[in-house]
């Protein structure tokens, strides 16, 4: 039997997809995948990984359509938690938010944005990595806020001493996504 037979078999195993092509789920997304959400077709433009320590990871995907871009965040703890959000200018949260971080090391317990009151749910340090870049992870601090209805979410991230990002979005269900197609 020629030696190349084993090499070919190994190469075929390496090329197997990470998903079952007959049963695709939202957890299977990767760059280049196509998915339908909110009556639009979206392409996965970027993949991000969050490392929260103790072997706990969450994932985020930048989805783009012809005229929009959103971020799909996927967390799987006891249940699957999905949010869709959009970046907002950090300054829109008001100067008191940055002042609170500077003075107390964290933003206020409540933030009013777009007529909704958001309450701080968690504060956690983590590491962020753009999966495509294969570079080093970046350390950051994140704060998560949820509104009274528990339908909307606001996130604040601090990357360096005075570098902040904010996003606002909503909780969604896996059934809100359809027609997932690989690249």
Tell whether the torsion through CA atoms of 176, 131, 71 and 81 is positive or negative: positive
Per residue in 19-59, pLDDT (tens digit) is 777 779 999 999 999 999 999 999 999 999 999 999 999 99
For the chain, how long is the longest CA-to-CA vector?
74
Per residue in 123-142, pLDDT (tens digit) is 999 999 999 887 789 999 99
φ, ψ for residue 51, nearest 5 deg: -110, 115
- Residue located via tokens 């902040």: 164
Which is higher by pLDDT, 71 or 136?
71
Per residue in 83-124, pLDDT (tens digit) is 999 999 999 999 999 999 999 999 999 999 999 999 999 999
* Cβ neighbours of 59 (radius 10 Å): 17
Q: Which residues does 181 contact at the CB level (< 8 Å), separation at least 6?
A: 24, 33, 34, 35
């Amino acid at each position: 039997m020629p030696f190349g037979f084993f090499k070919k078999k190994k190469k075929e195993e390496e090329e197997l997809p990470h998903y079952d092509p007959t049963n695709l789920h939202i957890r299977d997304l990767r760059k280049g995948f196509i998915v339908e959400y909110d009556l639009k077709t979206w392409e996965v433009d970027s993949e991000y990984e969050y490392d929260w320590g103790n072997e706990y990871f969450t994932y985020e995907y930048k989805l783009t359509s012809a005229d929009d871009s959103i971020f799909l965040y996927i967390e799987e703890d006891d249940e699957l938690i999905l949010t869709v959000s959009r970046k907002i200018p950090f300054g829109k949260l008001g100067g008191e938010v940055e002042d609170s971080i500077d003075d107390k090391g964290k933003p206020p317990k409540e933030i009013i944005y777009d007529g909704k009151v958001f309450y701080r749910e968690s504060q956690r340090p983590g590491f962020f990595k753009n999966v495509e870049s294969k570079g080093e992870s970046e350390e950051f601090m994140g704060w998560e806020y949820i509104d009274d209805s528990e339908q909307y979410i606001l996130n604040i991230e601090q990357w360096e001493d005075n570098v902040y990002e904010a996003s606002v979005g909503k909780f969604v269900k896996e059934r809100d996504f359809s027609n997932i197609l690989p690249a």
